[in-house]
């Protein structure tokens, strides 16, 4: 398939999803985010672009070197077929979609790529991408608990800093790194404010709030922050809605445009998505990066600690993720959890039993949905989502 076809197909697919969301939404300030989503794979930045997989890469280092981080985790069914020329059929669709983007030359403007070794899919993708582009691999420890793991991760962060400086030809100064951390912390606080408003029934759809988080990964940060402030201001002028729909938390594999079927099915079935712990959503964005003193060393420690605590299922044991989910269930008064598992994702799939068991102890029902990026299973998913929402309704 020619490059232009995949980019054009992706744009059309995103346009279709956004049109549905625009029709269901209705908030004036959301228009900016709908428009950004439609253009999220256009490179209109003058700064060198650094492609990033995952929530574990400290984007502040890229920003401090004058670069712009862009998330390259793919959510497009149309690029999967392209990558199946080199990757097996039974493989995570996120990886296949991203590799498909590269094989279609869609991301040729990237200066470099950073890939953490969180799962086998990412490791193998990194090898393939390294043939085409400067690719830095970050070795992720298996645990977050031991002192050795923390030391290894700090070494990886320092190595990444050097690699970024070399590739972008810019020194990361103490002042610039501080500026970048303070900036992303402002972003995190804005998102937390949005989620706090949702907690108290602010009149914004959960799928819209997810989109706001999703667009923050590729947008110009100043512009994103100023429009998020406008959105918060608009919401604060509105009355919270009295809403007795089941309050839902989404967890599991990332949900990436244009594959938005899960949030839309939940909302069509009258579920109220209040919270998520998705890597494409709130996962690392709701807490700020804590820095003891603004020395280079302490800033790197602050970054290392923050990104290692991302509660990714690649860690063992993974108590922080389970704990986080249970805390959110209480704090956001959740009635039911929807667990999204991308086919081929062994990490999320392998933790289902544990999350389900802990939720059962709290008497919180959970629905596991295993799916990929195609539309072929939508009818079947709809039946299960409808039944789950009905059950939550009848539990009230």
Q: Closer CB to ligand SF4, residue 121 or residue 336? A: 121
- Distance between CA 61 and CA 171 in Å, rounded? 10
Alpha helices in 237-345 (DSSP H): 261-268, 296-308, 319-331
What radius of gyration, in Å, describes the C-alpha atoms of the chain? 20
Smallest separation (angstroms) from ligand SF4 to the CB of 96: 9
Q: Are 251 and 364 in contact (CB under 8 A)?
A: no
Nearer Cβ to ligand SF4, position 29 or 117?
Answer: 117
Shortest separation between residue 322's beta carbon and ligand SF4, angstroms: 14
Nearer to ligand SF4, 54 or 257 (CB): 54
Distances (CA, A) of 46 to 137, 176, 181, 214, 362: 25, 18, 21, 21, 50
- In the complex, least distance from residue 140 CB atom to ligand SF4, rounded to whole angstroms: 9
- At closest approach, how far in Å is the CB of 252 from ligand SF4? 8
End-to-end CA distance of the chain: 51
Which residues of the shown chain bind ligand SF4 in the complex (CB under 6 A)? 54-56, 92, 94-95, 118-119, 121-122, 253-254, 279, 310, 312-314, 342, 345, 347-348
Instruction: Tell me whether residue 34 or residue 153 sits nearer to ligand SF4 (CB atom).
Output: 153
For the CB of residue 95, give the shortest distance to ligand SF4 in the complex, in Å. Answer: 5
Cβ distance to ligand SF4 smaller for residue 80 or 389:
80
> Cβ 333 to ligand SF4, closest distance in Å?
25
112 or 345: CB nearest ligand SF4? 345
46-73: b (≥16 Cβ within 10 Å) or e: ebbbbbbbbbbbbbbbbbbbbbbbbbbb
What 3-state class would DSSP assign to 353?
helix
Closer by beta carbon to ligand SF4, 56 or else 191: 56
Q: Characterize the bridge pairing of strands 247-252 and 110-116.
A: unpaired
Which secondary-structure segment (H or E) carries 376?
Answer: none
Q: How far is the CB of 293 from ligand SF4 (least distance, A)?
A: 28
Q: For residues 212 and 224, give the distance between their C-alpha atoms in angstroms, rounded to a whole number.
A: 9
Q: How far apart are CA 278 and CA 96, in angstroms?
A: 19
Nearer to ligand SF4, 246 or 349 (CB): 349
Residue 305: C-alpha distances to residues 130, 152, 185 (Å): 27, 12, 14
Question: Smallest gap, in angstroms, from Cβ of residue 303 to ligand SF4?
Answer: 15
């Amino acid at each position: 398939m020619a490059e232009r076809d995949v980019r054009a197909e992706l744009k059309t697919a995103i346009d279709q999803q956004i049109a549905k969301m625009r029709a269901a939404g209705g908030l004036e300030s959301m228009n900016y985010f709908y428009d950004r989503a439609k253009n999220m794979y256009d490179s209109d930045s003058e700064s060198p672009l650094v492609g990033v997989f995952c929530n574990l890469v400290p984007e502040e280092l890229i920003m401090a070197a004058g670069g712009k981080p862009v998330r390259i985790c793919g959510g497009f069914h149309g690029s999967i077929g392209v990558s199946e020329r080199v990757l097996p059929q039974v493989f995570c669709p996120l990886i296949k979609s991203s590799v498909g983007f590269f094989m279609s030359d869609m991301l040729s403007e990237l200066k470099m790529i950073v890939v953490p070794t969180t799962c086998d899919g990412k490791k193998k993708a990194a090898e393939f991408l390294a043939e085409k582009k400067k690719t830095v691999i970050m070795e992720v420890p298996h645990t977050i608990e031991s002192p050795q793991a923390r030391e290894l991760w700090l070494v990886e962060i320092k190595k990444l800093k050097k690699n970024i400086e070399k590739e972008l030809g810019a020194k990361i100064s103490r002042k610039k790194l501080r500026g970048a951390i303070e900036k992303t912390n402002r972003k995190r606080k804005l998102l937390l404010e949005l989620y706090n408003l949702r907690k108290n029934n602010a009149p914004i759809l959960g799928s819209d709030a997810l989109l706001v988080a999703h667009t923050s990964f590729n947008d110009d940060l100043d512009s994103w922050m100023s429009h998020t402030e406008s959105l918060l201001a608009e919401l604060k002028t509105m009355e919270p809605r009295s809403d007795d729909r089941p309050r839902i938390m989404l967890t599991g594999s990332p949900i990436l445009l244009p594959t938005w079927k899960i949030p839309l099915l939940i909302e069509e079935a009258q579920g109220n998505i209040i919270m998520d712990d998705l890597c494409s959503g709130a996962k690392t964005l709701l807490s700020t990066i804590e820095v003891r003193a603004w020395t280079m060393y302490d800033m790197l420690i602050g970054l290392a600690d923050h990104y290692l605590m991302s509660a990714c299922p690649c860690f063992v044991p993974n108590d922080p993720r389970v704990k986080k989910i249970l805390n959110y269930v209480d704090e956001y008064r959740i009635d039911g959890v929807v667990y999204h598992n991308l086919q081929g994702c062994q990490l999320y799939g392998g933790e289902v039993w544990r999350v389900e068991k802990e939720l059962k102890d709290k008497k919180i029902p959970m629905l596991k949905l295993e799916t990929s990026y195609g539309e072929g299973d939508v009818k079947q998913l709809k039946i299960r989502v409808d039944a789950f929402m009905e059950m939550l309704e009848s539990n009230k």
